[in-house]
Structure 1
């Protein structure tokens, strides 16, 4: 709700005509109406590439959907969309009419939208500057028929550039961030920048996830500290940010990404899936 609306006796209950009379543009009204039907907006960020952020986003979305929640998964990585491959949706095309797009339905509770659905081929390069990218991300939020959602999970490209900034600005100040890191100190340094970024744009951080934290042997199930563990937890203590948990490096999860199936759906009883389940508990608590 805008500042002008807060001082109005209608308190947001006015018609679109009345909103336009208050100076709101029709496209802003449409965006607000779309967002009003989404309870929780969670943006997944990382200052470092190669940390498995898209894999984490996909498994969080599937886990929430498996818990009975209505979930949207939005891939705003314009230059390198990964979600279609991760969920075996490559080649799918959304139904588009004059005013809206239908997201691709992955399961009865999960709907997906990605730039990857709109590219003619995998080899096509998207060469766009910031304002154009922001316009596309706005369309993905405003013009996609998400319907009523409990959660919208937004998978952003690494860094603190146009895409995450646009997503957070468009979603508004009731959105929250989840930051993904790996145990290496090099990744942790970049994650600090993501934390600073969220503070500067006044986005609350729901917590940190440490991905590829140790290695699960596919033969015996034992866990080995290949990349060390605990750096994410130490950073959370240092910064006062909630530590959501860690996900070990599991060869089956890597294979799931390559072959396009959901790890937590195929291996729901695995130790790694249990780690993911722990990570979504604070998110489920938002809807309690």
Structure 2
């Protein structure tokens, strides 16, 4: 469920203050028939705002087990993670763990797209040519996996951050191509439902 589904145009901005936002959060959490849930994922903005307070107030009455905080490797994101952990402690929500998302990409070479750069700055797809060239001249390279940092490395900061609190670092989330392609193909990734 998302307010984006209710907008007349996907690029339209929602410019609301506290009472209207809180009313919508309440409506999402109390009036939507979520059915039988294993997990409810609430994608909230970073920091500790009115939205977070409203979400906690509405969900504490349901007996939630705790929160999992998701971060990215950048230091600016980790500043908010420390605040979120402190927020959860102050409002009595157990932090079940912290997940570092978008840490890196591991992709078989055969799944990559190769681009040939033109003299005028243009580019053309050279994937088929590149893979055939590799297959003919260095087939052992097709068994390699290309790795890349999506963002600058956090150098283990989420793990250290969690070490100060009674929580767990739930490791890094790898980008999994088949999961990313599921929504485009009309499929579902898991039974986890998401709100807000």
Structure 1 counterpart of 2:83 = 193
1:202, CA displacement in angstroms? 1.5
Q: TM-score, normalised by structure 2?
A: 0.65
Structure 2 counterpart of 1:241 = 167
Structure 1 counterpart of 2:123 = none
1:256, CA displacement in angstroms? 4.3
Matched, 1:161 2:87: no
CA deviations 1:199-236 (Å, max 9, x no partner) are 12221111000112233244132444562242212222
- In structure 2, the CA distance between the partners of 1:144 and 1:205, relative to structure 1 (3 Å rule), is same
Structure 2 counterpart of 1:76 = none
Q: Contact conserved, 1:207 with 1:244, CA < 8 A, in 2?
A: yes
In 2, Cα distance between the equivalents of 1:144 and 1:165? 19
Q: Contact conserved, 2:46 with 2:80, CA < 8 A, in 1?
A: no
1:237, CA displacement in angstroms? 1.8
User: 3-state DSSP class of the match of 1:126?
Assistant: coil
Structure 1 counterpart of 2:114 = none
- In structure 2, the CA distance between the partners of 1:255 and 1:142, relative to structure 1 (3 Å rule), is closer
Aligned to 2:30, which of 134, 137, 142? Answer: 142
CA deviations 1:60-96 (Å, max 9, x no partner) are xxxxxxxxxxxxxxxxxxxxxxxxxxxxxxxxxxxxx
Structure 1 residue runs of 5 or longer lacking an equivalent are: 1-112, 269-279, 281-288
Structure 2 counterpart of 1:129 = 17
Q: TM-score, normalised by structure 1?
A: 0.46
User: 3-state DSSP class of the match of 1:148?
Assistant: coil
1:179, CA displacement in angstroms? 0.8
In 1, Cα distance between the equivalents of 2:103 and 2:186? 19
In 2, Cα distance between the equivalents of 1:231 and 1:188? 8
Matched, 1:230 2:118: no
- In structure 2, the CA distance between the partners of 1:252 and 1:148, relative to structure 1 (3 Å rule), is closer
- In structure 2, the CA distance between the partners of 1:214 and 1:154, relative to structure 1 (3 Å rule), is same
1:190, CA displacement in angstroms? 2.1
In 2, Cα distance between the equivalents of 1:215 and 1:194? 26
Structure 2 counterpart of 1:221 = 145
Higher relative CO (Cα under 8 Å, sequence separation at least 6) belongs to 2
In 2, Cα distance between the equivalents of 1:167 and 1:145? 17
Deviates more, 1:120-129 or 1:146-155: 146-155
1:261, CA displacement in angstroms? 5.6
Structure 2 counterpart of 1:205 = 95
CA deviations 1:155-178 (Å, max 9, x no partner) are 212221122221111011632211
In our comparison, the structure showing a higher alpha carbon Rg is 2
1:186, CA displacement in angstroms? 2.7
Which structure 2 residues correspond to residues 1-288 of structure 1 after superposition, within 5 A?
A: 113-172=1-60, 174-175=63-64, 176-219=66-109, 220-225=144-149, 227-228=152-153, 229-248=155-174, 250=175, 252=177, 256=181, 260=184, 265=189
1:263, CA displacement in angstroms? 9.5
